[in-house]
Amino acid sequence: MDIKALKNRAISDIAKAKDLPELNLVFKKYLDKQGELTLILRSLEELPKLRRIQVGQEANQLKAYLRDIFDKKGAGLKEKAMKVAEKKEWIDITAPGKKILAGHLHPLTLAKRKVEEIFQTMGFSVIEGPEIENEWYNFDALNIPKDHPARDMWDTFWLKTGRKKLLLRTHTSPVQIRYREKNQPPIRMLVTGRLFRHEATDSSHEINFYQVEGLMVDKDISAANFKAIIQEFLNRFFEKPISIRLRPSFFPFTEPSFEIDMTCLICQGKGCSVCSKTGWLEMIGAGMVHPNVLKYAGLNPKFWQGFAFGVGLDRLTMMKYKINDIRLLYSGDLRFLNQF
């Protein structure tokens, strides 16, 4: 049992250890439960008494000594490892930051919010209605009976359902009815919602688009009130005076009915593809609420009158941001969207 030789081997092994895992292996080899020195200490019993005392002393001294240099070496290696890690994790706080791309609102959303804000300042409540409707709300209650040719004004997407005939709403007017069922006049309500039409698409027509529907019902409402409110709205939306013209028109749920055109802001009235070369853009369908429609809602047309209108939100957006093709609004094309 050559303790001296063991000591020398252990010292040289400890010195050779390059990192903590290596040092651990050396520790295991000599000082762990199965380590060489541990085994020596355990086998002392087998030795004659005198020899046992001598070897025991030497071995215990060596154990204390080795523990000490293990600790020192361990502390050194630990420090070294930390320095390496620090170097790896080093952050250059002076380097320029990476720009995080922030999302932004779609032009239609920007326009919708602006419209709602303007009408809210004029006392209109902003409400919502379902995109899937039944025939009653989309047609009948709006004075468009079954088999009436007026239904052809709205090419409809019908849903394949069982007995109940459901459809994708072809305008936002059904929300007027839903609102009147639950609210008593005086009424000032506004809906901005999506609608669907089974139509061919081109630069100014899409199969789904948005309308802003307004309804005002009170005791003494005339078309003059309507014209004033719409003029005020358009001026504020476009932040400049806007020329409009009212044309007589037909809607089954209003009488009289009119259509409101505004000068095309894309070509400044000169004529372009968006305004079909006329310089005017059809923007709003409107009229005085038909007495039948008031009756369906349980209101006496002798006491109450009102006006209703439906504005194309997409067209408003196109005019505001000078967009010459409605299809861009639904393309999801980032080259387009990133401009807003």
Instruction: Measure the CA angle with vertex 184, ends 296 and 131; round to 5°.
Output: 65
DSSP 2: -
Which residue lies nearer to ligand PHE by CB, 137 or 251? 251
Catalog residues that contact ligand PHE under the rule CB under 6 A: 171, 173, 213, 251, 254, 285-287, 308-310
CA distance 33 to 280: 96
Nearer to ligand PHE, 192 or 254 (CB): 254
Burial 36-55 (b: 16+ CB within 10 A, else e): ebeebeeeeeeeeeeeeeeb
Nearest approach, Cβ of residue 97 and ligand PHE (Å): 49
Smallest separation (angstroms) from ligand PHE to the CB of 135: 15
**Cβ 287 to ligand PHE, closest distance in Å?**
5
Judge residue 251's burial from the number of C-beta atoms within 10 Å of its C-beta, 0-12 exposed, 13-18 middle, 19 or more buried.
buried
Cα separation of 219 and 147, whole Å?
34
CB of 260 to ligand PHE, least distance (A): 10
Q: What angle do CA 233, 235, 236 make, to 5 degrees?
A: 65
> CB 286: neighbour CB atoms within 10 A?
24
Min separation Cβ 108 and ligand PHE, Å: 17
Residue (70 or 196) nearer to ligand PHE, CB? 196
